[in-house]
Structures are given as C-alpha cells and as structure tokens.
Amino acid sequence: MKRILLTLSILTGGLVTNVQAQLLLGVNGGAYLANKKTAMLYSGFNPAVNFGVERLFNNSFFRTQYLDNYFKYNYEIVEVPTEMKYRPSIEYGATIGYRIDESMTFYGEVNFAQLKTQDIFVVKVDDPSPQAVQQFRYENIPIFGEEQRLNVNIGLQVGLFSENNIEIFMPFLGNFNSMKFGKNYFVINGRQHFMHQAFTNQPNYYIIKIGGAGYGGGSGLGVRYLIQDKFTLELTYNALYTKTKVLDTFNEFGLNHNVLLKIIWG
C-alpha cells in the first residue's frame, strides 16, 4: 500500500511540475461565412413569414402611392429570388482561455457578425408608348436582408506540432449561437420599402418574432506564434455545423466557416 501511495505521489508531482498553466485573454477579428439556407428568409417571397413583396404589391394604398406612378403602365412580378446567399462578413469578439499544459488549452470565445444578403426580383412592364423600343420592359428590383449573429464557442485546442515559437493545433469546440433579425427591404425609384413592419397599423396584423438560439459544434486548424513572452498571435480556421433558429417552424442545420486572427495576452 505504501509503495502504491508513493508511486501516485511521484506521478502526480511529475504532472504538476510539467504543467505550465496560465490564464489567457485576447481579442478576435476576422471573417465569417454563414450557410445560405436561412438567407432565403429575406427573398420577399418566403411563405414561412406573413410579410413580403407580394403583400405590398397587392396593397391598394401601396400600389397607388408608390408603384403606379413609377411603372406607369400594367406591371407584374415575373421572377423571384431562388438562391440568396450571405456575403462574407466581418466578425469580431474576445477570447478567454486556460493553458493546461504545453499541448492543450481550454478556451471560450464570443464573436459578433453583421450578416447581409442581396438579390433581385424582376417586374415586367407592358409599355405601349410609341417611344418604347419593345412592348415589354423588365426592371430588376434589388432586395436586401440584414441580421446579427452571436456565436459563443467553447472548446479545447490540442497541439499537433511545436518548434521554436510556432505551434500548430487543432480546436474541438461546441457552439451556441443567436440570430437576431435586422432589416428586409427592396428599393424602387431610390426609396427603401421595409416589408416586416409595413402593415403594423392594420387590424389583425401581428409582427412575428424572428430569431432565436441554436447550437452545434465543429473543428478546424490553427497556428500560434509567440511574439514576446506574454503576447501570442493566433490564426484559426473553424468549420462549424450548427442549427440556426429563424422561426419556430424554420430551423436549419448547415455548415458555417470562420477565420479569426487573435492577439492573446498571457
């Protein structure tokens, strides 16, 4: 029994001696590319929501006030967005970590991104005027969507290679995310027409809640470079398979990507 206790105390002492535990703090900045599946919310023709382009085009006040004077002749929508995608977005945030030993770091990070998407729908105008080159003209109407994303990643960085001041590692992380609806509008004659709140004064119309919390996980690859004793430059790529909640009836799993440059003190 004494020999076992002695062996355990020696092993434990050895582990504690080799561990170089330290607290890490840092700031993040980089790019975020969101999966396109939820971008179709902003197409203006999504049946999952109670607002959109057709609802405005079918409203007599809106037609009289904005559409009839602009198009002048008979018009109809002939093409709608089918493949909306998010643009690559700037992502920024902060990191906190705990370096367990030379090859393993436990960390958490919070990142924010403003996502934007853009497409067009097409309106055909029947132009009978003598000046018209063709009877029908087609107008491309731009449509836009904006939202905010919050990503909280918690995980472990496992070292793969280390030499001099350079270390290559692989992160394994869990993700918790939140989506918040921003804007959804189209532009005609230089004027923005917001669809989500267009009918707030009408009876029997309610603004649906868009957004919510999701989850997922992922992995990637990173490289760390020690600049000085206390400062480290870290570049990481993550592939995140996550669920994004848009509505209670509209939840999508998809692969998202981010590349982050971190300046870490500790």
Which helix or strand (DSSP H or E) is residue 238 part of?
A: strand 231-247
Q: Is residue 5 part of a domain?
A: no
Q: Is residue 261 part of a domain?
A: yes
Q: Is residue 237 part of a domain?
A: yes
- What are residue 217's DSSP bridge partners? 174, 241
Taking Cα atoms as reference points, which of 235, 150, 179, 184 lies closest to residue 44?
184
Q: Is residue 10 part of a domain?
A: no
Percent helix, strand, coil in the chain (nearest 5)? 15, 60, 25
Contact 199, 227 (CB under 8 A): no
Q: What is the DSSP letter of 199?
A: T
Q: What is the DSSP letter of 59?
A: -
Look-up of token digits 């959804």: 184
> Looking at residue 208, what is its pLDDT?
78
> Looking at residue 216, what is its pLDDT?
98
C-alpha span between 73 and 98 (Å, rounded): 67
Q: Is residue 73 part of a domain?
A: yes
- Domain of 75: which CATH number? 2.40.160.20
C-alpha span between 21 and 98 (Å, rounded): 7
Q: Which of 13-22, 49-58, 156-165 has the lowest mean pLDDT?
A: 13-22
> Looking at residue 40, what is its pLDDT?
94
Q: Is residue 11 part of a domain?
A: no
Taking Cα atoms as reference points, which of 92, 143, 93, 153 lies closest to residue 116?
143
End-to-end CA distance of the chain: 41
- What are residue 195's DSSP bridge partners? none
User: What is the domain range of residue 57?
Assistant: 21-265
Question: Which residues, at least 6 apart from 139, have a Cβ–Cβ distance to it below 8 Å?
Answer: 71, 122, 123, 125
| pLDDT tens per residue across span 47-83 | 888 889 998 999 898 999 999 999 988 999 999 999 9
Q: Is residue 115 part of a domain?
A: yes
Per-residue pLDDT for 14 more than 60? no
Q: Which ranges of the chain would DSSP assign to H, the alpha helix?
A: 2-18, 53-57, 60-62, 68-71
Count other C-beta atoms under 10 Å from residue 155's C-beta.
21
**How many domains is the chain built from?**
1
Which helix or strand (DSSP H or E) is residue 153 part of?
A: strand 136-163
Q: Could you give the 3-state DSSP secondary structure of residue 140? A: strand
| pLDDT tens per residue across span 240-249 | 999 999 998 8
What pTM was computed for the model? 0.83
Sign of CA dihedral 37, 39, 45, 46: positive
Taking Cα atoms as reference points, which of 117, 108, 156 lies closest to residue 39?
117
Sign of CA dihedral 46, 47, 48, 51: positive
Q: Is residue 32 part of a domain?
A: yes
> Looking at residue 200, what is its pLDDT?
56
At 94, phi and psi to the nearest 5?
A: -140, 155
